[in-house]
């Protein structure tokens, strides 16, 4: 049985590299340039999974052998059984992350495809609040709560780095200075996709998201 090891954003990254290879095959006439694109895609995927040295490494490396759209589809389908799921969580788990929020609106957990999640986000239009849940390891989660402000035009999302419909998500800095007054607060904000499903489909790295979370949590 296949042991999953490819997280959602990793899968998206591989898909993007495979698409580069396919695009080069369709548009570039110089075999040397195509070979360079193949080699670069293979190297980037190998770097992403540097700790893997078994037959999975050979499977991933076959990205350099793609010759057609059919090959592209077969390659990505070959990786499907190895997609790792976002850690499962129940409604009670989310409620524990936001104990101060009364009547917290919960996302529709029953219809989530956990293989296609790098993080979970949802908005409560009634309260103008957005919530983000991110796995911190060992079955634990980090929850961020903040206000969101809709943008009148598309912009780049800090999490997926794609031009999308975004909102300005502003969260309060959780770590207080030692001698801070009781009413002290500091807000950290950034533009993020208004639609979490779209962002999870685009995201190829969680580095920027983790930096933002670290900045808020302190």
* Residue 172 confidence (pLDDT): 80
Helix residue ranges, H only, 90-195:
91-97
Q: For residues 86 and 139, give the distance between their C-alpha atoms in angstroms, rounded to a whole number.
A: 10
Q: Mean pLDDT across the chain, nearest whole number? A: 91
* Residue 17 confidence (pLDDT): 97
* Same domain assignment for residues 164 and 57: no
* Same domain assignment for residues 54 and 152: no
Q: Could you give the percent of the chain with pLDDT greater than 90?
A: 76
Q: Which residues contact 93 (CB under 8 A, 6 or more apart)?
A: 141
Q: Would 12 be classed as within a structural domain? A: yes
* Same domain assignment for residues 119 and 200: yes
* Same domain assignment for residues 77 and 115: no
Write the CATH number for 14.
Answer: 1.20.1280.250
* Same domain assignment for residues 21 and 64: yes
* Residue 163 confidence (pLDDT): 96
* Same domain assignment for residues 77 and 127: no
* Same domain assignment for residues 105 and 76: no
* Residue 118 confidence (pLDDT): 97
Given 82, 117, 144, the domain boundary residue is 82
* Same domain assignment for residues 18 and 97: no
Helix residue ranges, H only, the chain:
8-27, 31-48, 55-61, 69-79, 91-97, 196-202, 207-217
In the chain, which stretches have pLDDT less than 50?
184
Structure tokens at 58: 């050979």
* Same domain assignment for residues 109 and 174: yes
* Same domain assignment for residues 69 and 126: no
* Same domain assignment for residues 35 and 126: no
* Same domain assignment for residues 100 and 194: yes
pLDDT 10s digits, 71-93: 999 999 999 999 999 998 899 99
pLDDT 10s digits, 93-128: 999 999 989 889 999 898 999 999 999 999 999 999
Q: Would 136 be classed as within a structural domain? A: yes
Q: Would 1 be classed as within a structural domain? A: no
Q: What is the tally of structural domains in the chain?
A: 2
Q: Would 3 be classed as within a structural domain? A: no
* Residue 185 confidence (pLDDT): 56
Domain holding 47, by residue range, is: 8-82
């Amino acid at each position: 049985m296949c042991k999953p090891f490819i997280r959602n954003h990793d899968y998206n990254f591989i898909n993007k590299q495979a698409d580069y290879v396919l695009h080069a095959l369709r548009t570039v006439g110089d075999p040397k340039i195509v070979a360079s694109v193949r080699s670069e895609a293979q190297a980037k995927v190998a770097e992403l999974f540097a700790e893997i040295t078994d037959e999975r490494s050979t499977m991933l490396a076959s990205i350099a052998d793609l010759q057609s759209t059919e090959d592209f589809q077969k390659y990505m389908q070959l990786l499907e059984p190895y997609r790792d799921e976002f850690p499962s969580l129940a409604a009670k788990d989310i409620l524990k992350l936001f104990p101060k929020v009364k009547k917290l609106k919960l996302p529709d957990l029953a219809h989530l495809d956990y293989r296609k999640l790098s993080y979970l986000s949802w908005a409560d239009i009634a309260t103008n609040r957005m919530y983000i849940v991110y796995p911190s390891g060992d079955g634990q989660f980090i929850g961020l709560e903040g206000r969101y402000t809709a943008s009148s035009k598309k912009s780049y999302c800090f999490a997926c780095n794609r031009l999308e419909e975004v909102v300005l998500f502003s969260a309060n800095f959780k770590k207080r200075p030692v001698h801070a007054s009781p009413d002290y607060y500091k807000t950290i904000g950034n533009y993020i996709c208004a639609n979490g499903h779209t962002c999870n489909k685009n995201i190829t790295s969680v580095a920027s998201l983790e930096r933002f979370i670290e900045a808020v949590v302190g």
